[in-house]
Structure 1
Amino acid sequence: MIRTSPICIPTVNSDRDWDFCFHLSQKTKIPAREQTDEFYPTSGSEESEEEIIVAEKAINSMSLPRDKLAQSQKKAAQLIKEKLNVQANKELIRCVILSRIIFGEDHWKCAQAVANLAYGYLTLRGLPSQAKRHAESVKHTLLTWKGNTTSNKEKREILEVLVMLYYTLGVACLLQNRGKEAYINLQKAERNMKELKEFFKEGVSGLQVSEKDLTVALGRASLAIQRLNLALAYFEKAIGNVITAKGDRTSDLIYLYEEIAQIEQLRRNHDQAIQYLQQALSICTCLFSEVSPQTAEANALLAKAYAMSGEAHHRDTVAIYFIKSITAYQATLGPEDYETLTTIDEFCKWLIQNGDKQEAYRLLKSSLKSQVISYGDCSDKVAETFYNMGRICFAKGELKKAVQLLRKCLMIQIILYGTEHSKSKDTKNLLTLLQRTSKSSSKWKKEANAGRKNTICKGTEV
């Protein structure tokens, strides 16, 4: 899985683009009589020349914002396609500003623009808090307008926006670890999607939120609220839809197989989980080659799945897949990469649990320099490596080396956390125990040596 840096969620006060949007909308708010698509009076042929002139001026004044809105929508779509996410998000803000000028704040078209912006904050910027706030702000407008629609085209568009709106709210809540709220919103999106399909028999292709996206989100929300069977059903449905649409060798299936394997592991169906992960690995090998970050990740997941099964006959298989993963990561991402070092760490923990401490120590020692380069001398990861190496030496009876390694670990932990932190205390307690054991061992050796010398001397005297 690709990891990114932590997301910084701006506060309302720091969202300058959005504040500007509100500020501008207040300055440029169009009177209600100018917010309709038809500006001419409806009193038949009784219009005065003055009224016609006023109406023509209104049309001319609105044509420029409408043109600008169309250009802005087109530009936003292009920027999204080019993955210029920040610029695309700013263009979506401009769409909101122009929609407010043209339609007014209470029109569903303006609500649509805000819903698009909320979806943009979620999918382009990874900002669930912003996305949720904007989506909530227009929910009432869309729900109340929906009942007053007369045009089928308008009703379809509003249903499409409602799907996107509830999907945005659901995924935003999911990212904020609010599983129940996420599931409720995603269910509403599912109901609107169903209504859309029933009302428009020709299909619902071309939506911003696809059926696959919604089904996967519902599966993840079900998993978050511990409804494992329901989560499994949603993922099976998503996999079936992808195979039908794109075949059984598409990259979309990789993460679906990996996630459904996780569900099967939680259900303790380890053999089924392994089968799904083998399918994911097969697709990775086919699409990306045997030495690639994608294949490395698939190998690591398969190694952990075999390890979780707890079967003794899988021990060699676990080691094989871990080694394949580490080799691929080192060749493609480098020895100092986070994924490489994390996989080595996981392999070492498994080796220690299974009694192969010598190999674990060798791997930890060889990765120590890379950890220092990646994380720095005083980092939690380096401290943890010293700790694990110290414990291995202790288990092997190499007490002096164990004490040296644990001292290094403790020094880093005190710098990072202070003396009262639980990690520092645990290391200090282990170090104290080791030092006592080491002293007792030295004393015993001295006494044993002295006894041996006395015996030799007495034997010589005799």
Structure 2
Amino acid sequence: MAKKMPASPIRIPTVSSDIEWDYCFLESQQMKIPAQQPTEESCPTNGSEGSEDGTKAKEKATDCMSLPWEKLAQSQEKTARLIKEKMNTQANKELIRCVILSQITFGKEHWKCAQALASLAYGYLTLRGLPAQAKKHAESAKSTLLTWKRKTASDKERKGILEALVMLYYTLGMAWLLQNHGRKAYLNLQKAERNMEELKELHKGGVCGLQISEKDLTIALGRASLAIQRLNLALVYFEKAINSIIAAKGARTSDLVPLYTEVAQIEQLRRNHHQAIQYLQQAYSICVSLFTEVSPQTAEASALLAKAYAMSGEAQHIDVAEIYFIKSISAYQTTLGPENCETLMTIGEFYKWLIHNGEKEEAHRLLKASLKSRIISYGNYSEKVAETFYNMGRICFAKGDFRQAIQLLRKCLMIQILLYGSEHSKSRDTKNILTLVQRASNSSSRWKREGRRDSKCKVTEA
């Protein structure tokens, strides 16, 4: 039920090579040559200054003559601007340049160079959604930062190192979490929490302006605790984050919606269904007030609420669950369209619930109405369409409509053979059910024929 961090699937590259890193490193090597030995080509003559080419050449020459720390400051400013403009790929490349310029300015073993690497790792995680690359650069920075932390005496330097360590361990924790390693995620996030506490002591109780806030870290620890099934601990972290957000932004902020849904998930795992429903009602109420009743956000909240009522298993919740399923599907169809995957997924959830409650006619009607949308969205010969034919065929079989069931199951089998082959488990399963339906159909036809023959004999005898 809880949403995953990134909205789109994460591609996890190998860490053996980093093309962007290599490209930017080569570029930085080329940058150093004219900075030390400016040539006539890089510094234009007075005669060319009036032309456009001359102006560009002059600007390039000025840039080439900049000192490395000046270039670093410019690159840091540019990174902040690109992040603000949501130009994530360009911002990530600029973070690579910051690392290289930090190496030139301070040396590879300096804590500020490790700080730049930690920022790059965080960039790979948050800007690009690449946890493998994030871990690679975070690990590169770790030993340097820990060495400097032990030997530094300056409070200002210690503050910078602690901030970098918080970012580094947070990045490692979230990267492991994205790769479904809950234990490693939790251990690294605990280290981030300890460094955050040290930072607060240094600041005499409070910290602000950090790239990783206490709220971010608390939510991350809640998610990691949930991943390792420490439900009570996860609940403590999430409640702490919720109270922090309410104190800062009030009780009607959209920031609370994902937290309420995650807390509801924990309560469902603890079988506290009434408590889960209360949290999801709060999330739904916020969505309605901020985004209106017909919006993708409210549609998602409605679907979660419908499933929560359905999971409770209580008779008085059956009608309420159906109302919220219908609200969700209607809102998704209006805002995202009938072919959208969220719409179709919610229809699938509603269908299963209807079958569970014995409402086969309504389930069949729902699947039949969504068939065209599934074909448009997934294609004629797709797994989803085969699944729809299969489910409709099963319903028809249960209702005793053997002729329709055979037609639907044959269509399903044809698609499955095309997709998986005739020996795949799904194809074999459909073949077995089709055989059962055909036998039932033949038996039914035979009984009908014998029944008609018996009735004719009785009439003749009479």
Partner of 1:269: 272
Following superposition, the deviation at residue 457 of structure 1 comes to 2.6
Partner of 1:287: 290
Name the CA shift for 1:237/1:202 in 2 (closer, same or farther; >3 Å): closer
User: What is the distance in 1 between the residues matched to 2:325 and 2:410?
Assistant: 30
User: What is the distance in 1 between the residues matched to 2:217 and 2:393?
Assistant: 48
Number of residue pairs aligned between Structure 1 and Structure 2: 430
Partner of 1:193: 196
CA contact (8 A) 1:410 1:424 kept: yes
Partner of 2:168: 165
Residues 1:207 and 2:210 are matched in the alignment: yes
Partner of 2:425: 422
User: What is the distance in 2 between the residues matched to 1:326 and 1:298?
Assistant: 11
User: What is the distance in 1 between the residues matched to 2:329 and 2:98?
Assistant: 47
**Which of the numbers 319, 327, 332 marks the counterpart of 2:330?**
327
Following superposition, the deviation at residue 186 of structure 1 comes to 0.4
Following superposition, the deviation at residue 64 of structure 1 comes to 2.1
Amino acid at match of 1:378: Y
Following superposition, the deviation at residue 384 of structure 1 comes to 1.1
Name the CA shift for 1:251/1:5 in 2 (closer, same or farther; >3 Å): closer
Amino acid at match of 2:13: P
**Which of the numbers 171, 178, 183 marks the counterpart of 1:180?**
183
CA contact (8 A) 1:386 1:408 kept: yes
User: What is the distance in 2 between the residues matched to 1:26 and 1:231?
Assistant: 48
Over the residues paired in the alignment, what is the CA RMSD in angstroms?
Answer: 1.9
Amino acid at match of 1:83: K
Amino acid at match of 1:103: F
- 3-state DSSP class of the match of 1:147? helix
Deviations 1:30-54 (A, max 9, x none): 9xxxxxxxxxxxxxxxxxxxxxxxx
Moved more, 323-332 or 407-416: 407-416
**Which of the numbers 226, 247, 252 marks the counterpart of 1:249?**
252
User: What is the distance in 2 between the residues matched to 1:434 and 1:119?
Assistant: 57
User: What is the distance in 1 between the residues matched to 2:288 and 2:268?
Assistant: 23
Deviations 1:391-448 (A, max 9, x none): 1101110011011111111111122222222222211111111111111111221122
Amino acid at match of 2:169: Y
User: What is the distance in 2 between the residues matched to 1:108 and 1:421?
Assistant: 57
Structure 1: runs of 5+ lacking an equivalent: 31-59
Name the CA shift for 1:179/1:202 in 2 (closer, same or farther; >3 Å): closer
User: What is the distance in 1 between the residues matched to 2:76 and 2:452?
Assistant: 88
Deviations 1:114-135 (A, max 9, x none): 1111101101111111111111
Partner of 1:33: none
CA contact (8 A) 2:28 2:100 kept: yes
Following superposition, the deviation at residue 152 of structure 1 comes to 1.3
Amino acid at match of 1:448: G
User: What is the distance in 1 between the residues matched to 2:425 and 2:136?
Assistant: 38
User: What is the distance in 2 between the residues matched to 1:124 and 1:339?
Assistant: 25
User: What is the distance in 1 between the residues matched to 2:388 and 2:64?
Assistant: 69
Moved more, 377-386 or 224-233: 377-386
User: What is the distance in 2 between the residues matched to 1:205 and 1:372?
Assistant: 52
Partner of 2:364: 361
User: What is the distance in 2 between the residues matched to 1:166 and 1:77?
Assistant: 22
Higher relative contact order (CA 8 A, sep 6+): 2
User: What is the distance in 2 between the residues matched to 1:244 and 1:331?
Assistant: 35
Compute the TM-score of the two structures, normalised by the length of structure 2: 0.90
Partner of 2:135: 132
Aligned pairs (5 A) from 1:18-417: 18-21=21-24, 64-201=67-204, 203-417=206-420
CA contact (8 A) 2:226 2:266 kept: yes
Deviations 1:161-207 (A, max 9, x none): 10000000000001111111110000000000011111112621111
Partner of 2:455: 452
Amino acid at match of 2:338: P
Structure 2: runs of 5+ lacking an equivalent: 34-62
- The runs of 4+ residues in structure 1 deviating greater than 6 Å are 24-30
CA contact (8 A) 2:383 2:416 kept: yes
User: What is the distance in 1 between the residues matched to 2:165 and 2:32?
Assistant: 25
Amino acid at match of 2:23: F
Amino acid at match of 1:300: A
